[in-house]
Chain A
Amino acid sequence: MSVFGPVVKIHPVVLASISDSYERRNEGASRVIGTLLGTIDKHSIEVTNCFSVPHNESEDEVAVDMEFAKNMYELHKRVSPTEVIIGWYATGFDITEHSVLIHEYYSREASNPIHLTVDTALQSGKMNIRAYVSAQMGVPGKTVGVMFTPLTVKYIYYDTERIGVDLLQRTRLAPSRTKGLTSDLSQVAGSAARVQDMLTTVLSYIDDVLSGKVTADNSVGRFLMDLVNKVPTISAEDFENMLNSNINDLLMVTYLANLTQAQIALNEKLVLL
């Protein structure tokens, strides 16, 4: 599907907020709309924040509380002055005529706003997330219509966000959908287990190729070569030296920390005598 126009990069925080506000919608409202905030680049639009806006929708008309939207935008601007209104979102799969009207509202706030749909009703079995930009269509001189052209959507994370999302991913495997925050060595163990899993997958692929079950793919082969070459070759002696010095450092720090803790505990007891 060829698309033109900027790429839309979404942060997961936006999607989480949208799902959350969908779950809190008023009785009788079939969908939720809200404003998208972010930054515009030359070739891409980055969506970093959003807030929902109350609106009423019936068969013939739609009313959006623009005053509220403006207020919220002002408040948000105080915290992050670099964010601007770049468009709006709606839950639900289709684009209705009301969307056109709402889109016009938003055209007054931002130049060329984008429209994001999040399919919370899971109509096609998945949660489809799409972005559109409006384009004029029709014969010049006669009535002009509006067409929504789709854009590519990518997900982009900050590093810390990625790690947060990783933790959240693990909650979906727990039956009660809850997860405590682990700490200490169990984290290292978990991380090592994941790397081990990945290695097993790679190894099974290689076995398959060797036994002829799967045809070899050159690009994958090149990646594997890179991987193997990345392991540095260090002589056993050097490695042991480095290891020992590192371990010494860490042990010393642990000793100091324990000493300090004992010291302040003593001080405490002495003062309270």
Chain B
Amino acid sequence: NISRKLTPVVLKIIKHYQEEGQGSEVVQGVLLGLVVDDRLEITNCFPFPQHTEDDADFDEVQYQMEMMRSLRHVNIDHLHVGWYQSTYYGSFVSRALLDSQFSYQHAIEESVVLIYDPIKTAQGSLSLKAYRLTPKLMEICKEKDFTPEGLKKANIGFEHMFEEVPIVIKNSHLINVLMWELEDKSTVADKHELLNLSSSNHLEKSLQLLMDRVDDMSQDIVKYNTYSRNLSKQQQQKHQYLQRRQQENAQRQSRGEPPLPEEDINKMFKPPQPPPRMDTLLIAGQINNYCQNVKEFTSQNLGKLFMAEALQGHN
């Protein structure tokens, strides 16, 4: 299942981030298009304003409706097919994203979320990825069953949360002509950022984020461990209580007295709440994503360094 995008969409997303998204806020917007055979074609998009006022919800829905109505007048496809979001160093696996994507996918089967990484793009190569929730994850979200047992039933690992959809960019002939014209008139790109050798800054930030996530993860693990320890302790206590009861009852019977009434042990020993596993899954997915990004980055840099060595060796 492939998704295809037309040129204006790419440029609009880039521009939107550039103008609004300075700092670590994410910018979001809606993707419009249609579904053709097994492809999802994205033909247009429009950005969302930032949530700064209190009546953000009301504004959002109305804004969206008005935008879609207006776009229909000028023959632009007005079918929702997904949404896009910018990300900071690859950190986008969050509860909010999951919820939004779930509601989109619930309504429209084919929808995707497009993640645009401006920092990676500034380093030399356009970084746009399209993701969709796997059917398994959709099931779980529908049932809202985030307990450990539920996840075990579905057998979901953090690797099966999102599936990536390959993106292909398609241009119409007119846009091709435009490209030729631009190439003609504009200066040669003097930013060959991709061959930049310095890497420590980017590495530092990535590692910092990774460490934060790993901290979160370890806290979560501690919580889970205490929970399971509590659970087993409680089981033991229950067991002991039952045994004592039985012993007492046996003694009483031997003495001819009526046995003690059976008490509801469940009320006495309330089982502890199992912690929701969804957060752990998300954190694990995010860590995985960071690691992937870091590995890609280091492999590129190693290549560049070896190239530099070969060049220097010629002197």
Contacts and interface: CB of A to CB of B under 8 A. Distances in A.
A17 B194 CA distance: 28
Contacts of A210: none
B185 to A, nearest CB: 6
Given A79-B48, A162-B191, A191-B195, A184 B169 contact: no
A25 B174 CA distance: 14
Interface string A168-191: 110110000111111111011101
Place the interface of chain B in its size category.
35 or more
A16 B7 contact: yes
Contacts of A80: 19-20, 47
Contacts of A271: 148, 224, 277, 280
B15 A49 contact: yes
A169 B179 contact: yes
Interface in A119-173: 120, 122, 126-127, 129, 155, 157-169, 171-172
Contact of A180 (B168, B172, B189, B312): B168
Contacts of A183: 125, 296
Contacts of A166: 189
Interface in B249-283: 277, 280
Given A182-B125, A247-B302, A272-B155, A177 B170 contact: yes
Contacts of B152: 272
A75 B125 contact: no
Interface of A: 11-13, 15-17, 19-26, 48-49, 51-54, 65, 68, 71-72, 75, 78-80, 82, 120, 122, 126-127, 129, 155, 157-169, 171-172, 177-185, 187-189, 191-192, 194-195, 234, 236, 239, 243, 246-247, 249-251, 253-254, 256-258, 260-261, 264-265, 267-268, 271-272
A161 B73 contact: no
A68 B18 contact: no
A248 to B, nearest CB: 11
B226 interface: no
A62 B54 CA distance: 42
Contact of B75 (A17, A24, A264): A24
A47 to B, nearest CB: 11
Interface of B: 4, 6-8, 10-12, 14-20, 43-44, 47-49, 59, 63, 66-67, 70, 73-76, 118, 121-122, 124-126, 128, 148, 151-152, 155, 157-158, 166-183, 185-186, 189, 191-195, 197, 199-200, 203, 207, 210, 214, 217, 221, 224, 277, 280, 284, 287-288, 290-292, 294-296, 298-305, 307-309, 312
Most chain A beta carbons < 10 A, residue from B179, B197, B287: B179
24 contacts: A13-B12, A13-B14, A16-B11, A19-B178, A26-B75, A51-B74, A122-B177, A160-B14, A161-B15, A163-B193, A168-B10, A168-B171, A183-B125, A188-B194, A188-B195, A191-B124, A195-B192, A247-B302, A249-B199, A250-B199, A250-B302, A257-B294, A267-B221, A268-B157
A168 B169 contact: yes
Contact of B122 (A11, A163, A264): A163
Nearest to B129: A181
A167 B291 contact: no
Contact of A258 (B6, B168, B197, B295): B295
Contact of B17 (A155, A160, A258, A267): A160
A68 B181 CA distance: 31
A264 B284 contact: yes
Nearest to B285: A264
Given A24-B75, A260-B291, A268-B158, A188 B303 contact: yes
B126 A19 contact: no
List the 4 closest pairs (A to B, CB-CB), nearest first.
Answer: A13-B11, A16-B8, A257-B291, A191-B194
B124 to A, nearest CB: 6
A184 B300 contact: yes
A155 B179 contact: no
Contacts of A24: 74-76
B20 A79 contact: yes
A131 to B, nearest CB: 13
Contact of B18 (A51, A126, A158, A181): A158
Contacts of A168: 7, 10-11, 169, 171, 179
B181 A127 contact: yes
Contacts of A23: 172, 174
Given A177-B171, A187-B124, A79 B300 contact: no
